[in-house]
Amino acid sequence: MQRRQFSASLLASGAGAVSGALWSPLAQAQVGGFKEGNEYQRLGRPAPVDAPNGQVEVIEFFAYTCVHCFNFEPIFSAWIQKKPAHVTVRRMPVAFSEAFVPLQRLFYALEAMGQLDALHEKVFKAIHVERQRLTTAETITAWVGKQGLDTAKFTENYNAFSVAGKARRAAQMQEAYLVEATPSLGIGGRFYVPGQGPKTLQVADALIADLRKG
C-alpha cells in the first residue's frame, strides 16, 4: 500500500492535508452493517462527479508501483464485469509525488491510443513480476515499443497537453476524496473507501445501494 507523503509546505498551507474537520462529523454511522470512520469515510465536502444523472460513479485510485494495487486488480476487474448498469467506473492513477507522474502519463497515453485494455495489466506485471523499473519517460517508451506500439506516436501522446490535463485532474480528484493510500475507492462523490482487499468491494456495494436509495 502506497501512502501520501506530506511536505512541510503542504502541511503549513493546509493543502491536501487529511483533517478530521473535513470528514463528516457523523461518527460511527453505519451503511449495510459497515461502520463510518472504520470501513469507509463520508466526505465533509462532496467531490466532483462526471457520471450522468442516474449513475453512481466509482473511482479506483491506484498506483502501478503499489503491490496491493497489483493484487487488487484482478478482484476489481472481476467486479467491474458484474457491476450493475447504473454504476460507472473510472480508474485514476495517483500522484503522491512527482515520482508518480511518468506512470500517470503512461496510463493516460495508453488510454488516448486505445491500448489501455490491452496493456493495463501488463504494466502491473512488468513492474511486479518482471521487476522492470518503469520510472522515466525513456524506460517507459522502451517498454511500450516492446509491446508493439509505435513509440513516436506514444511519445506524442505522452507529452500531449490533454494527457497532462488528465493527470492534473486525477491529482485534483485524489485531493477531493482525501485519498490517503492505494488502492482505494471513491463512491459517488460522497464516500471514500480505503483498501481492505475483497472487503473493499463489499463496502462499495453497500454504499452504492445507499446512494441509489437517496
Percent of the chain with pLDDT over 90: 81
pLDDT at residue 31, rounded to an integer? 85
The pLDDT tens digits of the residues spanning 134-173 come to 999 999 999 999 999 999 999 999 999 999 999 999 999 9
- Quick one: which H or E segment has residue 59? strand 56-62
Which pTM value belongs to this model? 0.87
pLDDT at residue 1, rounded to an integer? 62
Helix axes 137-146, 101-112, angle to 10 degrees: 40
Which amino acid appears at position 210 of this protein? D
Q: Given pLDDT bands bounded at 50, 70 and 90, which one contains residue 32?
A: confident
Q: Are 126 and 144 in contact (CB under 8 A)?
A: no
**DSSP character string of 186-198:** EETTTEEEE-BTB
State residue 106 phi and psi, 5-degree precision: -60, -50
Q: Are 66 and 75 in contact (CB under 8 A)?
A: no
Tell me how far apart the alpha carbons of residues 76 and 81 are, in angstroms, rounded to a whole number.
9
8-35 burial code (b ≥16 CB/10 A, e <16): eeeeeeeebeeeeeebeeeeeeebeebe
The pLDDT tens digits of the residues spanning 177-188 come to 999 999 999 999
Task: Say yes or no to pLDDT of 7 above 60.
Answer: no
Q: Taking the CA of residue 50 as centre, how many other CA atoms within 13 Å lie in the half-sphere pointing to its CB?
A: 10
pLDDT at residue 210, rounded to an integer? 93
Q: Tell me the torsion sign for CA atoms 103, 104, 110, 116.
A: positive
pLDDT at residue 4, rounded to an integer? 57
Task: Say yes or no to pLDDT of 18 above 70.
Answer: no
C-alpha cell at 55: 449513475
The pLDDT tens digits of the residues spanning 55-100 come to 999 999 999 999 999 999 999 999 999 999 999 999 999 999 999 9
The pLDDT tens digits of the residues spanning 118-139 come to 999 999 999 999 999 999 999 9
Residue 23 or residue 152, greater confidence: 152
